[in-house]
Structure 1
Amino acid sequence: MMISDNIHLDKLLADIDQQIEVLSAIAGDSAVLIEQLRVLSEARELLLSQELELHRLVELIDPETLADHSTLAESSRVD
């Protein structure tokens, strides 16, 4: 299942999901594995939030404005 337009992000999320599934099956009462499960779940949610925020920002940016800012940034580097 594709989550985003970014195949690398989708692959990373699929890998995290697989790790979460395995850890959920074997964690039991192991504090270390339970913590790893929590960290992976949190990382997955943060990646999804970041992707949604990125798409939101892209929709807000006018391509002409972006070109103007790029030109400004490039001229600043030359100075």
Structure 2
Amino acid sequence: MAVIAVFNQKGGVGKTTTCLNVTAALYMAQQNPIALDMDPQGHLSLSSGIGHVKADMTMAAFFKHNRPLAELLH
């Protein structure tokens, strides 16, 4: 399984757009991509149509409160 990470500390560099488009391209290529929204603002979730995600359902909750990953997948 390949892992692609898109990250940069600076805002406004296209991280969300890049991640969304790479995920869409992989899906269209009949792959099964998983996109993890690590941004506290949740822009990837919003951009992909999931909408606003409650704070206890974020990756921060996974790391901070040991929430099972299976509960956080949409």
Q: Please say whether Structure 1 and Structure 2 have the same fold, judged by a TM-score greater than 0.5.
A: no
Bigger Rg, which one? 1
Q: Which has the higher contact order (CA 8 A, sep 6+)?
A: 1
TM-score, with normalisation over the residues of structure 1? 0.29
Q: Which has the higher helix share?
A: 1
